[in-house]
Amino acid sequence: MPKVDDAFTTYDAQANREDLSDIIYNIDPFDTPIMTAIGRRNISNVVFDWQTEDLPNVDTAADLEGFELARAAATPTVRQTGVAQIKHRDATVSGSQDAANPAGKRKEMAHQMALVSKALKRDCEKIMFGTAQVAATGSAAVARTTRAFVNWIYTNTTFQSGALGADPIPGTNTPVVDDGVPVAFTEDMLNDTLELCYMNGAEPSLLFVNAHNKRVVSTFLGRTSARQMIAANKVVNSVTLYASDFGDLKVLPHRWMRGSDAFLIDPAYARVAYYRKFQRSPIAKIGDADTEMILTEFGLQVDNEAAHGVIRDLVAA
C-alpha cells in the first residue's frame, strides 16, 4: 500500500517526546541462601573466639562390686578462632547527574547504592562457602580473610579421589584443601557422607550444591516419588526434599559455591559474626562529584565443624 503524498511522518518529526519507561529491568541474581539460613552474632574484636567440646569416649566396661574409684581426667574445651575481614563497594556520581531527573530513579546516587549493596551481600555470600580461602591475621600489606566453610570441615568429609588426609588441618588457621580428579556425584556418595555425619553426632538439614549437581540430585531415588503429576499438562521432575535413612535434607542450589563440593549444613551450628554490620558512609569530596561507600566487617563462625559434612572432588558441570 503506497504512502499518502506529503504525509508528515515520525521520520520527519524533530520534536516528538521520547517514551522511556520508568521501570528498570535487572535479573542479575543476588540471593544469599547460606547467610539467610545460618545465625548471626556481634563481635567486639576482629579476632573472635568460641569453644567446642566432646563427650568422653563410650565405655562399656563393668564395675566391680565395691570398686575403688580411679579418677578420670576432666574434659577440657577447645578454643576456636575466627578472623573478620573487611569488604566494601562504592559508587561515584557527578553533581550534574545527581541534579538530573533520570527515568526510573529519584536520585542516581540512591540507585547506585542500592545496586552496590546487593552486590556486596552477594560477595559476602560467596566468601562464606569460599574459594579455598585461608584465614590470616593480616598486616599492613596483607588483608585479613575469614575462614570459609570449605576450609573448616574435616571430620565428616568424603573424598572421591586424591590423597587421603587432604582435608583442612584440624586446630590450625592455615587449612589447605587439595582437590583431586573430579568424579560424578552419586546417591551412594551422599548416603555414605550422611552415615558418617550420623556416626559423629551430626544432623545436617540442608544440602547445598551447584546448579549442575542440583540436576544430578533430582535423579536420585531416595525421595517420595520420581515424578508427581500435578495436572494434565504439568509434571514435576525435581528434588527439593531428600528423605534419607538419617533424616530429611532440603536441597538448595547455590550459584556462588565451588562446584566440586556438596555441603551438608546444620544451620544451628554456624553463624555470621559481624564486627561492623553493613554501613553506608559518604566519602570526602575532591571535586564536582559525590562518592559513597557501603562496608561490612564480618567473619564466619562454624560453631562445631563436626556438625556439618562435605563431599569433595565432584564434577562441577
Residue ranges of the domains in the chain? 33-51+80-311
Q: Give per-residue burial for 109-118: e unless 16+ CB within 10 Å, then b.
A: beebbebbbb
**pLDDT value of position 315:** 92
Look at residue 23 and tell me whether its pLDDT is greater than 50. yes
Cα 141–chain centre separation: 27
| Per-residue model confidence as pLDDT tens digits over 114-171 | 999 999 999 999 998 875 555 556 667 778 888 889 888 888 988 876 544 444 555 5
Q: Which helix (H) or strand (E) holds 309?
A: strand 309-311
- Residue 256 C-alpha cell reads as 556462588
Question: DSSP assignment of 52-90, as one string?
Answer: E--PPPP--PPPPTTPPP-PPPP---EEEEEE-EEEEEE
Residue 317: pLDDT band with limits 50, 70, 90: confident
**pLDDT value of position 16:** 72
**pLDDT value of position 164:** 44
225 or 178: which carries more pLDDT confidence? 178
Cα 178–chain centre separation: 20
**pLDDT value of position 147:** 87
Cβ-based neighbours of 256, under 8 Å, separated by 6 or more: 122, 125, 126, 129
Give CA–CA dist 61/46, Å, rounded: 47
